[in-house]
Amino acid sequence: MTTLISLPAELLAQIMACLSEDGHTLKSCSLACRRLLPVSQYYLFSYVDFEVLDHLEAEPFRSHITHLKLSPKSEVLAAYPDALIKSAISLPRLTGICAHQVSFQYMSFPAAVHTQLVAFTAVVELSLYETTHPDREHVQGILCALPNLSRLSLRSVTLLTGPRYSKRNPPPRETSGPRLTYLRASPSYSMDSTTTIVEWLHRTLTADTLRALVLPADSKNSEVVFNGFGPYVESLTIERLESITRKWDVAFITRYTALRTLDVGWDLCGPQRWYQLYKMLYSMDSPRLCEVVLRFDATQDLDSVIELDAFLASPIDSYLTRSFPRLHRVCIIIRADASTLPITKREQLRIAVKMWMERLDGLGKLQIEFDYVGKVTSGFFNDI
């Protein structure tokens, strides 16, 4: 009888890689048997706080670390920052830094890391989450200090002084600045200054180098993100379409002429459940679009969301088939609760989706997947 631990090492490694963001499962695997311990530790120790570097027992796992986190816990290192920062720079697999709930104005260790960011030549990924900075120039200095930065995540950034967001006096176009290829930005109103940073990125080389743009579901000032980019973006993700279409026009999509992948989460409730999505697709001018991913949440009341007894063909089925000749894959991802979704209802849902997308299904371009809730992730940005 084949068991998990009897599998070849290559297959076992691939299985564990699929669990790399599920912290609880990795911990359970590390306790299950000796063979699973090393590969579990490989992923468990990939994302740690700077403070871990101060522990001798962490020395054997230095080669596993790919991301370091700056947090209030890191402030205990303020008495001797240089040695630990030098140790961090020498990590063989380090590729990302996350600043989480830290103040670069009032905390010593984050400030010390800032002064030596130029030495982190292997870091390509940066996340700023609930961070506080003296002014906009300070954030710009952080982004420009990392010589190979290409991926940035922003959320709830606060500036203590200086302008935050100005439509009348935008900053001039710059010939320097970061060359980002990936941006995940969650702007808001009030004192949140994420909008200011994104507006500045519009004026840097990032406007020409950005290839992937992600708008989280909780974004509130979305036009700031979308209106400054477009012609060079190849992958666009809108985690919740309703967060933008209820407030402003979807004409922004006409700027995104180079799209190859579109990933959208939207609400299927109500008689006009397809209208917002159809309106955006109708406005698109992306002849190279080859993949569309559509996500909806069915964890609450499955029957009211999809109306299993009222199968209606989706208007986007024929439009996608007719307007995007290079389209080869449309993936419908249904977020559901496995405990309340029996096999019979899951098959009903699969049939309903196929009837929505009858033409795409007939061409072999339709793919249906289920994303079951209850997974605990510990990725670079997901766990904070």
Chain mean pLDDT for the chain: 84
Angstrom CA distances, 313 to 260, 317, 328, stand at 25, 8, 20
Summarize the confidence of residues 345-367 as an average pLDDT.
88
pLDDT at residue 111 is higher than 60: yes
Rounded Cα gap, residues 280 and 283, in angstroms: 5
Q: Is 256 or 341 the better-scoring residue by pLDDT? A: 256
pLDDT beyond 80 at 91: yes
Mean pLDDT of 74-83: 90
Q: Is the pLDDT of residue 345 over 80?
A: no
Of residues 380 and 199, the one with the higher pLDDT is 199
- The model's confidence at residue 360, banded by pLDDT at 50, 70 and 90, is very high
Give the residue from 68, 26, 28 showing the smallest Cα distance to 51.
68
Read off the pLDDT band of 383 (50, 70, 90). very low
Percent of the chain with pLDDT over 90: 43
pLDDT of residue 312: 66
Residues 6 or more apart in contact with residue 191 via CB below 8 angstroms: 158, 164
pLDDT, position 21: 76
Lowest mean pLDDT segment, chosen from 204-213, 223-232, 372-381: 372-381
In percent, the amount of the chain with pLDDT more than 70 equals 85
Check residues 215 and 241 and name the one with the higher pLDDT.
Answer: 215
Q: Which amino acid would we find at residue 91?
A: L
CA distance 209 to 180: 6
Q: Quickly tell me which residue has 């190849």 as its tokens.
A: 234
Res. 183: pLDDT tops 90: yes
Band (pLDDT 50/70/90 cuts) for residue 72 is: very high
pLDDT for 328 beyond 50: yes
pTM: 0.88
Between CA 72 and CA 49 the distance in angstroms is 10
**pLDDT for the residue 169:** 61
CA atoms within 13 A on the CB side of 365: 20
* pLDDT tens-place string over residues 251-288: 888 999 999 999 998 776 655 667 788 888 888 999 99
Is 6's pLDDT higher than 80? Answer: no
Mean pLDDT of 320-334: 92
Cβ atoms of 199 and 191 within 8 Å: the answer is no
Instruction: Provide the pLDDT confidence category of residue 128 given band limits of 50, 70 and 90.
Output: very high
User: Measured at the alpha carbon of residue 353, what is the angle toward residues 351 and 359, in degrees to the nearest 5?
Assistant: 100
Q: What is residue 381's predicted lDDT score, i.e. its pLDDT?
A: 39
Q: How far apart are CA 126 and CA 274, in angstroms?
A: 36
Residue 104 pLDDT level (bands cut at 50, 70, 90): very high
**Does residue 13 carry a pLDDT above 50?**
yes
Question: 3-state SS of the chain?
Answer: CCCHHHCCHHHHHHHHHHCCCEHHHHHHHHHHCCCHHHHHHHHHCCEEEHHHHHCHHHHHHHHHCCEEEECHHHHHHCCCHHHHHHHHHCCCCCCEEEEECCECCCCHHHHHHHHCHHHCCCCCEEEEECCEECCHHHHHHHHHHCCCCCEEEEECCEECCCCCCCCCCCCCCCCCCCCCCEEEEECCCCCECHHHHHHHHHCCCHHHHCCEEEECCCCCCHHHHHCCCCCCCCEEEECCCHHHHCCCCCHHHHHCCCCCEEEEECCCCCCCCCHHHHHHHHHCCCCCCCEEEEEEECCCCHHHHHCCCCCCCCHHHHHHHHHCCCCCEEEEEEEECHHHCCHHHHHHHHHHHHHHCHHHHHCCCEEEEEEECCCCECCCCCCC
Residues in the chain: 384
Confidence of residue 184 (pLDDT cuts 50, 70, 90): very high
The mean per-residue pLDDT over the stretch 140-149 comes to: 95
When pLDDT is averaged across residues 51-71 and rounded to a whole number, the result is 89
